[in-house]
Chain A
Amino acid sequence: GAGVSQTPSNKVTEKGKYVELRCDPISGHTALYWYRQSLGQGPEFLIYFQGTGAADDSGLPNDRFFAVRPEGSVSTLKIQRTERGDSAVYLCASSFSSGGSDEQFFGPGTRLTVL
């Protein structure tokens, strides 16, 4: 079946602009995660959704970052007033449930470049 998909695969924007990154999880997966991976680093947790609600947003770096999942499926990560330091690969993952040992399936990521 289809895996996790993310669009766009690449996004180049200018400092100060607004961007939206989209994630389509695997059908039937209730848990959805966003991570950010900077060059040479491991993924860093941003936010976790269980269904439509954000169960843990403790990883969002500041109030410029926001994410939604209005119908419990597709999620959008929104970044306002982008800064050069926001440049990274943004990864989305989903899992069937919220169990701590459940496998998270990752998408290919969106590479964001802020000029």
Chain B
Amino acid sequence: GDSVTQMEGPVTLSEEAFLTINCTYTATGYPSLFWYVQYPGEGLQLLLKATKADDKGSNKGFEATYRKETTSFHLEKGSVQVSDSAVYFCALSPHGGATNKLIFGTGTLLAVQP
């Protein structure tokens, strides 16, 4: 079945460091891909998305490119801030069918130190 695999955390970085969180997926067809973020004490919120191959999603300085050839959707940010500390979830929504459920990875905790 469809699944998402993301790098285990925690990831600990100093402020202004470069961030990469790896995400790969297994799916039939052409799923939509998402990154959701959960800040401490808050609910899940959409960070960015991409709906077809080679699309780049971006928001708040974060970027991810839908790579069909490598079935990946890695999250990157050039310079992280303390306020980026959160849990990041990669997710996919299967293409077609009766449901638009999200299938999530296990999440990656990012801790940014001043």
**Residues of A with Cβ closer than 8 Å to B?**
3-4, 31, 33, 35, 40-45, 48, 55-56, 58-59, 91, 93, 95, 98-109
Q: Are A100 and B43 in touch, CB under 8 angstroms?
A: no
* A101-B51, A101-B93 as given contacts; A40 in contact with B46, CB under 8 Å: no
A98 to B51, CA, bound (A): 14
A31 to B99, CA, bound (A): 10
**Residues of B with Cβ closer than 8 Å to A?**
4, 31-32, 36, 42-46, 49, 51, 89, 91, 93-96, 98-107
Q: How far is the CB of B99 from chain A (nearest CB, A)?
A: 4
CB neighbours (8 Å) of B49 from chain A are: 101, 103
CB neighbours (8 Å) of B96 from chain A are: 100
Q: Are A42 and B89 in touch, CB under 8 angstroms?
A: yes
Q: Which residue of B lies closest to A99 (CB)?
A: B100
A40 to B106, CA, bound (A): 7
Q: Are A42 and B91 in touch, CB under 8 angstroms?
A: yes
Contacts A59-B101, A100-B31 given; 7 further ones with Cβ under 8 A? Answer: A42-B4, A42-B107, A48-B100, A56-B99, A100-B32, A100-B96, A101-B93
Q: Are B107 and A106 in touch, CB under 8 angstroms?
A: no
Q: Are A48 and B89 in touch, CB under 8 angstroms?
A: no
14 pairs of residues in contact across A and B, judged by CB atoms under 8 Å: A41-B106, A42-B91, A42-B104, A45-B101, A48-B100, A55-B99, A56-B98, A56-B101, A100-B96, A102-B100, A105-B45, A105-B46, A106-B36, A109-B43
A55 to B100, CA, bound (A): 10
Q: Are A104 and B46 in touch, CB under 8 angstroms?
A: yes
Q: Which of B43, B91, B103 has the most CB of A within 10 A?
A: B43
CB neighbours (8 Å) of B99 from chain A are: 45, 48, 55-56, 58
* A43-B44, A48-B100, A56-B101 as given contacts; A100 in contact with B107, CB under 8 Å: no
Q: Are B103 and A45 in touch, CB under 8 angstroms?
A: yes
